[in-house]
Each structure stands twice: as C-alpha cells, then as structure tokens.
C-alpha cells in the first residue's frame, strides 16, 4: 500500500496495489481533475515530485513529449511503486458525487440494437449507483486495460449496469465483448465516473445529441428525464446522427417512455443515406440538424452530447458560435 501525498493541498491518501493514483484518489473522495479515465484526454496529469510510478499504458496519447519531459504522468494509468509526492489541480467541483468502486459483473443479457451496437447487461456482486450520463470501466477477460463505456439504464440500488456498446473496427475490447463474452461470463467493473451527468436542478429544457457510441449515455439521460419529478413540465429533444439507415437507433426506446411526442421528441439525421434506405428525413451532420431544429432557442437549453470526436467537436463549436453559455454544455472528452 503506497501513500500519495499532495503537499500543496496538505492531503494524503492510500493507493492500494493494482489501483491507479487517480482512481484511488477519487475513491477517497478527492476533487482530482479527470475526464476520460483511459489515457486519452490528459486532464488527470500530475507532476511527480518524489517517488516512483509505473504506467499501465506508457504510450498513452494523453501526454505528449513535452509533458513527459516535465515529469508529468497520467493519474488514470499510474500505479505507485513507492510512496509518492505529486502536484496537480484540485477543486471541489471535481469531487465525485458517488464514489467509484470496483465490483465483479456477470453478463445476464445481450440485445442487438443496430448492425454494430449491442446492449450488454451486467449484474454486480456489489452494487454501486451512478448518475444518468456517467460511465463505468469494463475490464474484459484477456484484454489489457479497462475501457470506458457509458451506462444506458438508471438504477436505484446499483445492482444492474447496462451498456450500449458499439463494435469498433479492430477494437480489442469491443471485439472480445461481441464475439467471445457469453451470458454468465464475468467481467471486472469500476465506476461510476464522468462529469456529463444530468443536472436536474438546471431550469431549462434539455437537448441530447448522440452519434454512434454516444447513444448509451443519452438514452440514460432521457430515461431519467421521463421519470424525474423535478423535470416535469420540461421538454427533451433527442437528436441522433448516423451515416445511413442501418445506424438509426434510439427511437424505439424513447417511444416506450411516458411523454413521448408530448415532452420527449426524437429526430434523426443521416449524413450519407444508402439508396435502398429510401430516406425522406433530414440529411447532413447532426450538429447542422440541431441548429435547424432549435434555431434561436438553442442557448435556452441544457445540452448533453456524446459520440465520435469529430461529431462532439462540431456540436461544441456550433453551440459556442450560437452563444450557448459553456456551463450549459455537458460532455466527457474521450480523446
């Protein structure tokens, strides 16, 4: 067991063997900055002042050469080999509302949603709750390193974690999940993580924008919206973007929610519909569709979005250009 000290904040915490410095700090309730938790975004970097660490992912894209030269390490990928002293930004608003914890999950069901998106349902030995829009880490047997996947369900007791997962071409984890994992098999689970969770106190209508793998957290938010007492009387606009007709997803789930067509609205845009799709709906990118659907009322919405990096970048740019206050934009950057 290593002790990690943050001298500037006069704080220290224990980092058990096998846990990473960021995750152990978050489990201890500390307000440490992070976003993706899988080595890509760079937000959890710290400066190593004293001690020795080992990286689970030495070539992680979240650090460039200059950062490495400044003795920076990624908290989400660093194991402590000795007691350490580190320097990093700490803020109260980085604290986790629900402390992340590790558990074992058994696969109880699989459902196909599109040609490359499947819902995987796990039952946990030790449940932990999460907020709609957050994500958990799945450790897949035989695959090095955990992967971040957003939840699609809501849970009162945390016993069920459901994920809508997109098969990534050449993705080791998604390939193992899709091709090898069978009902009854076990995975390691860790969570919840993420800052793009539903703000029930925000006094605005809601816009959810999803593409591909971003379906899952937006579905979780829409389900929570439908069940929320606090959000009664508000509207939720759900805009989904895909390439062609076979990518379309989400509408059937939203149709099953109370309020569909009255307070919950679904829209889809296809960027490259196939000839045999006979598509008569919107064409183009999802951020263009959003602008067209909401027009001048865009800044009056609380905006949640998730999907592939080019899509989330485009949504973010479009929202800022259209004067949406940054505090109303909620997403986790996985790159």
Residue number with CB closer to another protein (206 or 316): 316
Residue number with CB closer to another protein (268 or 324): 324
Q: Of 168, 175, 167, whose CA–CA distance to 141 is shortest? A: 175
CB of 92 to another protein, least distance (A): 12
Contact 41, 62 (CB under 8 A): yes
CB of 66 to another protein, least distance (A): 7
Residue number with CB closer to another protein (115 or 317): 317
Q: Which residues of this chain interact with another protein, rule CB under 8 A?
A: 33, 35, 41-43, 45, 64, 66-67, 70, 89, 91, 94, 316-317, 320, 326
Contact 130, 119 (CB under 8 A): no
Contact 23, 30 (CB under 8 A): no
**Radius of gyration, CA atoms only, the chain:** 20
Phi/psi of residue 315, each to 5°? -65, -45
CB of 290 to another protein, least distance (A): 17
CB of 2 to another protein, least distance (A): 23
Report the first-to-last Cα separation within the chain, whole angstroms. 31
d(CA 313, CA 329): 12
Residue number with CB closer to another protein (39 or 273): 39
CB of 89 to another protein, least distance (A): 5
User: Cβ neighbours of residue 85 under 8 Å, at least 6 residues apart?
Assistant: 4, 5, 6, 7, 48, 49, 50, 51
Residue number with CB closer to another protein (105 or 194): 194
């Amino acid at each position: 067991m290593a002790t990690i000290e943050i001298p500037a904040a006069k704080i220290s915490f224990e980092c058990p063997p096998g846990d990473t410095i960021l995750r152990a700090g978050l489990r201890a309730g500390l307000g440490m900055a992070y976003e993706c938790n899988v080595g890509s975004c760079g937000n959890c970097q710290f400066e190593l002042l004293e001690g020795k660490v080992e990286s689970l992912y030495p070539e992680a894209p979240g650090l460039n050469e200059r950062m490495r030269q400044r003795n920076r390490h990624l908290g989400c990928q660093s194991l402590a080999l000795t007691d350490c002293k580190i320097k990093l930004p700490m803020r109260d608003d980085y604290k986790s509302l629900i402390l992340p914890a590790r558990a074992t999950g058994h696969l109880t069901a699989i459902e196909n949603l599109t040609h490359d998106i499947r819902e995987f349902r796990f039952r946990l030995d030790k449940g932990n709750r999460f907020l709609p829009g957050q994500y958990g880490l799945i450790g897949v047997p035989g695959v090095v390193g955990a992967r971040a996947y957003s939840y699609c369900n809501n849970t009162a007791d945390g016993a069920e974690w459901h994920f809508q997962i997109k098969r990534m071409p050449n993705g080791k984890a998604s390939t193992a999940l899709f091709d090898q994992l069978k009902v009854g098999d076990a995975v390691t689970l860790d969570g919840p993580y993420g800052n793009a969770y539903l703000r029930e106190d925000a006094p605005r209508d809601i816009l959810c924008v999803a593409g591909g793998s971003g379906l899952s957290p937006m579905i979780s938010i829409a389900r929570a919206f439908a069940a929320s007492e606090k959000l009664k009387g508000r509207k939720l606009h759900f805009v989904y973007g895909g390439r062609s007709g076979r990518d379309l997803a989400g509408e059937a789930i939203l149709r099953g929610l109370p309020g569909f067509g009255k307070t919950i609205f679904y829209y889809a845009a296809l960027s490259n519909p196939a000839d045999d799709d006979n598509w008569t709906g919107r064409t183009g990118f999802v951020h263009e569709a959003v602008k067209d659907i909401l027009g001048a009322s865009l800044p009056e919405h609380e905006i949640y979005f998730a999907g592939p990096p080019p899509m989330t970048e485009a949504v973010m740019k479009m929202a800022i250009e259209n004067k949406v206050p940054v505090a109303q934009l909620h997403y986790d950057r996985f790159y």
